[in-house]
Amino acid sequence: MKIVFVHGRSQQHKNPTELAKQWEHALLEGFKRIGEPYAGKLDFTFPYYGDVLFDAVEKASTENFQELVSKGAQAAGPDAQEQEFLWQVIREMAVQNGITEEEIAREATGEVDIKGVQNWPAVLAALRLLDKIKGTGAAMIELITRDVWFYLTKKGIRLKVNQIVDPQIPKGDDCIVVAHSLGTIVAYNLLMNRQPVKNVKAFITLGSPLGIRAIYDRLPSDVSPRKVPPAVGQWINLRDARDTVALYEIGKGIFGGEPTVLNDSKIINGSDNRHGIVEYLQDPTVATLIRKFLP
């Protein structure tokens, strides 16, 4: 059965072939670790959108900054809507790491009332505090959050990414989709637009931020009620509970309908930020799950 790997952000300026091999080798190593090595050639596809996303976000960021300057902005922060989104997500990341809103306010202004702190100073303060915690990687958190924002809200950027990934997800033949980080948002959005033929036997999300309200409330494919994609036979969401990006499980209260999202938060990801894709693919639980779909 074909596997469709959908990567996350920060993959720009990398060799797509080498990147695909990294995913393949990590998964094959996972199979070996569970005592079920794969003898044949792994049938997979790896739609690479890293450079397209990076270039589009860079261009949009520059245009936004130039617009702010032309309006007399005093600081080089994002526009108000993006600031609000960044604050909502990064505040949740901070709270999950034991940082209180009072600490953020004190870091930002010297005061303890968060209500008096504007979004951008609060974001920067939270990132500084997160940067003091081993493994959180404040710079990475800001960048992944901004990439998510641009994908969710800029149709042109979203279409450029979708046009690369969508053709590589089979529309009739059986497959499984294994997505990581931002890639889980991309894959979810695309699968929501598919017919309910159930050819995607499993949608496997690793280190997904889809459980964060500021993100799932802004999904471009969002419908009421929010639901599991109709083309999916199973949706299994796996995360290390310490993952700095996958803050929450994806509960049926968020994505309703059938099949119910199955969550496993007991994965052990040995990377510094508990978010690395190689470590996820080598995890015994993840490897066992994927292996059962292969001959």
d(CA 37, CA 56): 40
CA-based end-to-end distance of the chain: 8
Which domains does the chain show, CATH number per domain?
Answer: 2-50+154-291 (3.40.50.1820), 53-152 (no CATH)
pLDDT of residue 79: 75
Query: What is residue 155's predicted lDDT score, i.e. its pLDDT?
Result: 92
How many other C-beta atoms are found inside a 10 Å radius of the C-beta of residue 68?
17
* Model pLDDT for residues 146-164, shown as the tens digit of each residue: 888 889 999 999 999 999 9
pLDDT at position 115 is 60
pTM for this predicted structure: 0.86
Residue 178: predicted pLDDT: 99
Q: In terms of Cα–Cα distance, which of 80, 77, 54 is closest to 65?
A: 77
H helix or E strand, kind and range, residue 6? strand 2-6
Taking the CA atoms of residue 60, residue 209, residue 188 and residue 192 in that order, the dihedral angle to the nearest 10 degrees is -100
Is 284 buried (19+), middle (13-18) or exposed (0-12) by CB count in 10 A?
middle
With a cut of 70, list the residues of the chain below it in pLDDT.
60-77, 111-118, 134-140, 142-143, 221-225
Res 61: pLDDT:
65
Residue given tokens 């889980």 in the structure block = 184
